[in-house]
Chains A and B, each alone.
Chain A
Amino acid sequence: MVTSKSEVLVGRIILIVVLVLTLLPLLGMLSAALQSPDRLPTGLAWPTNPHWENFVTAFTVGHVWVLLGSSLLIVVVVVPVSLLFATLAGYALGNLRVRGGRVVLVAMVLGLTIPFEAIIIPLYYQITSYGLLNTQWAIILPLIGLYMPFGVFWMRAHFIGVPRELSEAARVDGAGVLQEFRRIQIPLARPALSALGILLFLWTWNQFLLPLVLVDDPDKRTMAGALGAFQGQYIDALPLLFAAALIVMLPTIIIYVIFQRQFIGALLQGAVKG
């Protein structure tokens, strides 16, 4: 497309302005996080005497090691289990085309639109009756259920795209369904699985409402959930709160920068498929 020079220039300027606006809140928070923790921070300015130790303080006061452990534990259970369940179901719906599968599909469509707030109350009483309140399981189990609609749709879409001749060929070779699934389908599904895995990781890490309601001990929450407790009286100096918020963001940002391409890809496909 041919565009005039002035158009290109205007376009660039607009884009740069938007980029600055995008980064501004994060930079503002960084500048405030580096100010003296004894005072209210002021304005957007690089402090002359940056208090980098605020990050260390926030790290210890906020029990960040414990939180990282807790978040990791939750992610390490939720993501693989959800992936497994979703893959199995997606295969049944997309490849085996099980009779009656359509009902499952329709029932799950509803799940794509349910706001968490609509079911958080009964979930609370349900988890209480299982005696799991205030444990990481209170976050893990519901999340697996809540991820099913999206996960199943995602994996079904993948398996629909896999030529059925492939599995027929495998059957001719005498492979059972299970064998075929393990030897042929799973390796083929790797890109879809890794994209889904990235999404589920992100959603779990950033989950806020479930930990807020179901786990009262901030040390057993997800990172984002614990940040909510910091905001109370846990950390009453704003610079420390900002430092803590930046620490919480850091792992996802690092992973994002490393796996940028897959990340954007995953979220985009997720949007279209969802």
Chain B
Amino acid sequence: MSTFIRAPRAVVLAAAAAVTLLALAGCAPGSSNASQGQSGSVSTALTTKKVTLKIQDETGFPVTSNLAAEFTKQHPNVKFKIVRDSFQNLLANSPRLMASADAPDLIRLSTLGSTVKDGLVTNLDPYFKAYGWDKFSAGQLASARMTTAGVRGEGSLWQFGLGYSVTGIYMNQKLADKVGITSVPATIDELEADLQKAKTAGVLPVQTGMQDGVGTFVLQALINQYGDKAKLIDWMFNKPGATFDTPASLKGATKFQDWATKGYLPTDVNAINYTTMVANFTAGQGLFMWDGNWDAANVQKALGKGGAQFFLMPPTTKGGKYVAMGAGNTFAIPSKSKNHDTTAYFLNWIATNSKARQIVVDITGASPGGDPAQKLPTVEKGSLIETALAMSASVGKDDGFTDFIANTTSGIYQGALQPDEQLLLTDKITPDAFTKAIQAFYEKDLAG
């Protein structure tokens, strides 16, 4: 840096002038037209031409690869190219990927965010009508709907789920026997008693992590039970006036912090991420783990058949209704795709073709969704996947599915939930300050 030279005034002036010009020329960045590449008429007949569908998916979830292979086997003229990146990178990149000239035909899109407003995703309403998706469970499709004003849960359909997940609690059977737990808890009080039993016996009660925010499963499971879930759903769906700052959230956050203080959570909870959490639990560390059905096969493989149980978060009172987070493994068709009809055909095929449904269950352990009247794929008797499907059904019966609060806005998970829960669990903020901080971020993020 010995070559630093004082910038001559002329250079500075020229730069200033250039900036002013750019600013004044009114060449504002971005385009204002959110035009929809929608033709109106759609076809449900599969093309006979040779096409290659490009799918953008996350790493670690291979189900699209298996589905694509099976589809190509049945329809050799349709081939697939699947690109994967980590969930976090994909989350960051998806709006820009969809806006690019070589947009994929199908993209894993967990949060709609402002994609509808920006005209990036294809409106699936015409396909809904053409394929008769009204036979599907309406609750499953609700979170994939959004109005033009950005409110989710109503309006047109934009996403399609490849299987529907359900979250619950895994229990290590060996540790349960050790601390003397004979049946899965039926109420939150019973659950807390079990946590204390484990603690007293020197067993880590809960395996979870907060480095990447995975422990949000625990927090939301509590909030779900402590109040009217419709209010939380309104908030997740960004209804005007909805708030996170509710008694239910406060109670949930207080309990969560309380568990951390009592030593129910790992002492290094802020260092544990999703991968570590699952690895720890399957290695026998921790009595309970809040997680989704997608790990059912993993857990069973590691702990052996009967080595673990999987059950729903219990309600506050015996016989109360089940509420569980569950979401479609949702994909969207970017409006820039050139193969809308073929991609939609592929989606419909996944929900209706018996081979495809079997693949969804075998690979993800998730309920295949679709028409409830359709036969469920066969699963191994007594397996955790079988349990998961049953859990899914009972939550469905109670109309108890909610989305994940992490999907509320595009920035909330990394920007607020993750850092603020880290603070909450280490007693750096009060539960009240926590709920207010989340709400403040939410408002800022929506104002964008």
- How many pairs of A and B residues are in contact by the CB < 8 Å rule? 80
Verify if A273 is at the interface (C-beta below 8 Å from B).
yes
- Residue of B10, B100, B276 contacting most chain A CB atoms (<10 Å): B100
B83 touches A217 (CB 8 A): yes
Q: Is the interface of A mostly helix, strand, loop or mixed?
A: helix
Smallest CB separation, A152 vs chain B (Å)? 11
B97 touches A216 (CB 8 A): yes
Size of the A side of the interface (Cβ < 8 Å), in residues, is 33
A39 to B96 CA separation, bound complex (whole angstroms): 37
A234 to B89 CA separation, bound complex (whole angstroms): 11
Q: Which among B1-9, B248-256, B361-369, B386-394 touches the partner chain?
A: B1-9
- Near A by CB (< 8 A), chain B positions 5-58 give 5, 7-8, 10-11, 29, 56, 58
What mask results when residues 193 to 233 of chain A are scored 1 for a CB within 8 Å of chain B, else 0? 00000000000000000001000111000000000110111
Smallest CB separation, A97 vs chain B (Å)? 15
A216 touches B59 (CB 8 A): no
B59 in complex: contacting residue of A40, A153, A233, A273, CB < 8 Å? A233
A233 touches B283 (CB 8 A): no
A124 to B182 CA separation, bound complex (whole angstroms): 58
With A229-B86, A232-B89: A106-B58 Cβ-Cβ less than 8 Å: no
Residue of A nearest to B93 (CB): A216
Residue of A nearest to B86 (CB): A232
Verify if A148 is at the interface (C-beta below 8 Å from B).
no
- Near A by CB (< 8 A), chain B positions 94-131 give 96-97, 99-102
A106 touches B89 (CB 8 A): no
B29 touches A125 (CB 8 A): yes
A128 touches B96 (CB 8 A): yes
Smallest CB separation, B60 vs chain A (Å)? 3
B5 in complex: contacting residue of A106, A218, A233, A273, CB < 8 Å? A106
B86 touches A231 (CB 8 A): yes
Residue of B nearest to A220 (CB): B83
Verify if B280 is at the interface (C-beta below 8 Å from A).
yes
Residue of A nearest to B8 (CB): A106
Verify if A107 is at the interface (C-beta below 8 Å from B).
yes
Smallest CB separation, B86 vs chain A (Å)? 2
A233 touches B8 (CB 8 A): no
Verify if A66 is at the interface (C-beta below 8 Å from B).
no
What mask results when residues 291 to 321 of chain B are scored 1 for a CB within 8 Å of chain A, else 0? 0000000000000000000000000000000
A212 to B60 CA separation, bound complex (whole angstroms): 19
Residue of B nearest to A110 (CB): B7
Please, could you name 10 A-B residue pairs with CB atoms under 8 Å apart, sorted by A? A109-B4, A133-B100, A133-B101, A218-B85, A229-B59, A229-B85, A232-B85, A233-B59, A233-B60, A233-B275
Q: Point out residues on B near A: beta carbons under 8 Å.
A: 1-5, 7-8, 10-11, 29, 56, 58-61, 83-90, 93, 96-97, 99-102, 275-276, 279-280, 283
The 4 tightest CB contacts between A and B, nearest first, are A232-B86, A233-B60, A233-B59, A234-B59
